[in-house]
Chain A
Amino acid sequence: MIDVLYFAWVRERIGVPRERVETSAATVADLVAELAARGPRHAAAFADTAALRVAVDQDLAGFDAPLAGAREVAFFPPMTGG
């Protein structure tokens, strides 16, 4: 089980801030493919992955990052801090 978190407009498109996902995805990209197939809201949120950033266990990661042992994956738009 992996906790999947969404922030900013990704959270709004999907409609929930987090969900627990039963998955055997090997990489972030595999997880994205599974999530996008969940329904139209997920498909819309993941339509353009170039517009998304990802963190695995609270560290920024790439879409090719492995998920072995990961507990938390977050998807969000480019950050606008400062």
Chain B
Amino acid sequence: MAVRVQAGPFDPGAELSAFTRAVGGAGAVVSFTGLVRDADGALMALEIEHYPGMTERAIAAMVDGARARWSLTAALVVHRHGRLAPAEPIMMVATAARHRAEAFRAADFLMDWLKSRAPFWKREITAGGATWVEARAADEDALRRWD
């Protein structure tokens, strides 16, 4: 079980290859990679602020929560902070389990929690200035699926 919060870039393919080699008898690996979205071509950069210390602690608690629900053989969360360019990977989640249903559910669970409960704040930089991204009600609603 690994959690990494880092300023530097990462290679999702290399991460997934390394993860897959060390999943300890799993029959299924699921991964999700989030990219910096530039829907209308105006985004110059995305800045991600975080709360050092709490970030790692909160994500580790989420991974523990996933392990309590599903029998995972391995889990990985990588999340960047700092300044990112459009289309760069922001974060990835990978889960490994004996069967695919558990791996899919655990990855989905971790994504829902990371969106709304990990202390990151995104700010979009465009030619017009900088705007804090607002939390979406849909992301908050998604958490209730796991009650």
Check A58 against B57 for contact (C-beta < 8 Å): yes
Contacts of B114 in A (CB 8 A): 81-82
Check B49 against A7 for contact (C-beta < 8 Å): yes
Check B51 against A80 for contact (C-beta < 8 Å): no
Chain A 40-82 interface 0/1 with B at a Cβ cutoff of 8 Å (1 = within): 0000000000000001001110000000000000101111111
**Nearest-Cβ distance from residue A10 to partner chain B, whole angstroms:** 9
Total CB contacts across the A-B interface at under 8 A: 70
Chain A 1-35 interface 0/1 with B at a Cβ cutoff of 8 Å (1 = within): 00001011100000000000000000000000000
B53 at the interface (CB under 8 A from A): yes
Chain B contact residues, majority secondary structure: mixed
Chain B 59-98 interface 0/1 with A at a Cβ cutoff of 8 Å (1 = within): 0000000000000000000010000000000110000000
A7-B119, A76-B119 known; A81 and B91 CB under 8 Å? yes
A5-B51, A82-B111 known; A77 and B132 CB under 8 Å? yes
Check A79 against B111 for contact (C-beta < 8 Å): no
Q: Which of B90, B121, B122, B123 has the most CB of A within 10 A?
A: B121
